[in-house]
């Protein structure tokens, strides 16, 4: 046991349940349910985290009523057919020493999608619309309110029969119970609206019936936003007052706190805060809740290292810490931490790309650094190579590092060749974007994994056919990346035209207005615009899509667009660059081809990339097994490069 983490390692009593340590995997949708039920993929996902030493797993939301299907992939607990799947999940988690709670859920007006594309009827306390999803709900008749309370009780009973350790009522993020609490979304004039006491009635009745149905051996808790961070959202004091009242009633064994709401763009960014958000930023709110209640408080909010979690608990700000993304990135994080191997932990960088980003796109969640997550059944166990081979990996970016690490872990003798003095590839540029320094942690993690596995590095070495023949490997993995794409433009009078790479590498940018032309609508063009604006430049960002950041995860995009707006960046959507002269940049509208002129002293191109693929042809007829990964196949993102590194190294 690591003496540096005494508070985090200590067991925690939550009602009738004792969890083995203070690390919690909170409820988060995995998009791994099968027809609303627990399937093999979800089992394997939670098995990995229980094996890795987590104290408590809180399973993703399960709908208590047919109308709670806020996405087509949601888990459901609205009839007894769910019990066998939940039973198997509980048994697997218990066999690995962890405790398991189930979130019980109704979204109210927060509908994201439907099963067939038609708009279902959303239910809410009152007909108050949702800003983010543009949903106008139906005000619930009182008989439906009472029916819904009963549904929570029935779902809690099913969890008891399935062998769970507890249930958690989701009153966070502007979902149905929070809609009843909030005087701006609850306009009722019956017993469930009006006074604070009446607005609390629904949640009080839900907790009471859940406690009755769960019985004496299950913990009953609540998750709630201590402030929804929206103009019409629940305020911190309103939420704390509700926590204090429910605690005084003896209805909760613990309270799990978050911030934000699903109802607005800015509020929803707190659901999974991006890397621009400070670590542990909700600790002051958690401390306020701790002073208002007598039960354990669990804190969320960008706590991605055991050291940070230890400090939170040592200060008394919370009794346990949610470390969900840290566990997505490294399921073995708790075991490593408590064994004293803090340097061996693969740290989450808060990029949101493959975790919540996959969820929003409707795919099972994963991690750009650890694509084994969500693919545990295929890649969860590193199988030793049947016959160790000599393997050369060309390129020390994230894909090459992953391929080298996995191949070496399997027992191959691996040499990685990198042309420059530093490993990292394009990540070395990505970390220069304002607010994205943490992204560089991906290379720190991957380099450490490769070094620990015994990979030999040849730095400042350019690979060619002669060198590969000299090394005489059995297999070659080509991961040579990409370079900036520069489109054909009409240029007159020698204008200043730079690439985003050159700007991030420190190239001099003339004074006056700079135009950034962004083709891909990802974080690069938007990030360079922010960088230039912070340097004091007047910036116009022209994007080929509907808005900047169109291809990146919403919460990351929101944070970056908000920053750009505050810095005065002018944004022009639906344009492509056409040309430039010494005083003007010329765009075309992508829908009408009409010209758009902008007075500017320089043009910065963020127009995607071209593959560096010459070695694919040069090495194609060699006596080695050759494979290609990442941008040299087709320029994409870190996620694809690392995944392909895993796939190809596993196949060697």
Catalytic residue positions? 175
How far is it, in rounded angstroms, from Cα 183 to Cα 188? 9
Please list, in sequence order, all residues whose beta carbon lies within 8 angstroms of the beta carbon of residue 538, skipping any fewer than 6 positions away: 512, 513, 514, 568
Helices and strands per DSSP (H, E), number in the chain: 23, 29
How far is it, in rounded angstroms, from Cα 462 to Cα 479? 13
Do 16 and 164 meet the contact criterion of CB atoms below 8 Å apart? no
Q: What are the residues facing 599 on neighbouring strands?
A: 584
Q: Which of 608, 621, 645, 623 is nearest to 478 (CA)?
A: 645
How far is it, in rounded angstroms, from Cα 220 to Cα 156? 9
Place of tokens 């993020």: 173
Please list, in sequence order, all residues whose beta carbon lies within 8 angstroms of the beta carbon of residue 134, skipping any fewer than 6 positions away: none
Q: Which of 160, 170, 256, 254 is nearest to 216 (CA)?
A: 160
Pairing of strands 166-171, 219-225: parallel
Q: Give the largest Cα separation in the chain, rounded.
A: 83
Backbone torsions φ then ψ of 512, nearest 5 degrees: 95, -175
Q: What are the residues facing 584 on neighbouring strands?
A: 599
Place of tokens 């094996």: 51
How far is it, in rounded angstroms, from Cα 211 to Cα 222? 11
Q: Is 641 helix (H, G, I), strand (E, B) or coil?
A: helix
User: What's the helix, strand, coil split of the chain in %, to 5?
Assistant: 35, 20, 45
Helix or strand holding residue 49 (H, E): helix 40-51
């Amino acid at each position: 046991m690591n003496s540096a983490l005494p508070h985090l390692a200590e067991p925690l009593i939550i009602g009738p349940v004792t969890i083995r340590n203070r690390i919690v995997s909170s409820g988060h949708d995995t998009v791994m349910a099968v027809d609303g039920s627990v399937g093999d993929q979800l089992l394997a996902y939670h098995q990995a985290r229980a094996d890795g030493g987590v104290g408590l797993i809180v399973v993703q939301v399960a709908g208590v009523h047919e109308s709670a299907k806020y996405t087509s992939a949601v888990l459901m607990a609205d009839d007894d057919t769910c019990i066998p799947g939940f039973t198997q999940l509980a048994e697997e988690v218990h066999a690995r020493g962890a405790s398991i709670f189930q979130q019980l859920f109704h979204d109210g007006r927060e509908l994201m999608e439907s099963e067939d594309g038609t708009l279902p009827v959303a239910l809410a306390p009152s007909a108050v619309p949702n800003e983010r999803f543009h949903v106008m709900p139906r005000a619930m008749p009182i008989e439906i309110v009472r029916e819904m309370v009963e549904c929570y009780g029935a779902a809690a009973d099913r969890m008891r029969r399935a062998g769970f350790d507890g249930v958690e009522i989701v009153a966070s993020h502007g979902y149905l119970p929070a809609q009843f609490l909030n005087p701006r979304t609850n306009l009722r004039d019956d017993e469930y609206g009006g006074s604070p006491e009446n607005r609390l009635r629904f949640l009080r009745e839900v907790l009471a019936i859940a406690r009755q149905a769960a019985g004496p051996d299950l913990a009953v808790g609540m998750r709630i936003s201590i402030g929804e961070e929206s103009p019409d959202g629940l305020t911190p004091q309103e939420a704390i007052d509700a926590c204090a009242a429910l605690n005084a009633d003896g209805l909760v064994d613990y309270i799990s706190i978050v911030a934000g709401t699903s109802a607005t763009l800015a509020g929803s960014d707190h659901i999974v805060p991006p890397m621009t958000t400070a670590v542990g930023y909700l600790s002051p709110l958690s401390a306020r809740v701790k002073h208002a209640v007598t039960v354990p408080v669990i804190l969320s909010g960008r706590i991605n290292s055991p050291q940070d979690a230890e400090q939170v608990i040592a200060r008394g700000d919370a009794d346990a810490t949610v470390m969900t993304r840290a566990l997505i990135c490294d399921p073995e994080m708790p075991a490593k931490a408590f064994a004293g191997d803090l340097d061996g932990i693969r740290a989450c960088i808060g990029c949101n790309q493959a975790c919540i980003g996959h969820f929003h796109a409707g795919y099972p969640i994963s991690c750009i650094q650890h694509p084994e997550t969500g693919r545990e059944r295929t890649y969860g166990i590193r199988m030793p190579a049947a016959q160790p081979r000599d393997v050369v990996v060309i390129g020390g970016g994230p894909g090459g590092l992953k391929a080298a690490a996995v191949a070496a872990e399997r027992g191959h003798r691996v040499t990685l060749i990198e042309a420059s003095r530093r490993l990292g590839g394009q990540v070395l540029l990505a970390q220069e974007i304002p607010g994205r320094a943490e992204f560089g942690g991906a290379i720190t993690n991957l380099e450490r994994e490769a070094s620990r596995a015994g990979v030999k590095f040849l730095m400042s070495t350019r690979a060619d056919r002669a060198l590969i023949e000299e090394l005489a490997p059995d297999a070659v993995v080509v991961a040579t990346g990409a370079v900036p794409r520069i489109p054909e433009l009409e240029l007159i009078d020698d204008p200043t035209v730079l690439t985003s790479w050159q700007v991030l590498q420190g190239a001099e940018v003339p004074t006056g207005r700079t135009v950034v032309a962004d083709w891909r609508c990802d974080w690069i063009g938007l990030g360079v615009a922010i960088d230039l604006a912070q340097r004091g430049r007047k910036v116009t960002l022209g994007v080929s899509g509907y808005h900047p950041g169109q291809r990146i995860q919403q919460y990351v995009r929101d944070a970056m667009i908000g920053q750009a707006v505050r810095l005065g960046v002018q944004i022009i959507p639906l344009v492509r660059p056409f040309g430039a002269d010494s005083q003007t940049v010329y765009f075309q509208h992508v829908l009408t081809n009409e010209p758009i002129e902008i007075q500017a002293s320089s043009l910065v191109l963020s127009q995607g990339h071209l593959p560096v693929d010459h070695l694919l042809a040069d090495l194609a007829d060699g006596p080695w097994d050759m494979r290609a990964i990442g941008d040299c196949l087709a320029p994409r993102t870190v996620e694809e490069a690392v995944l392909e590194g895993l796939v190809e190294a596993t196949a060697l």
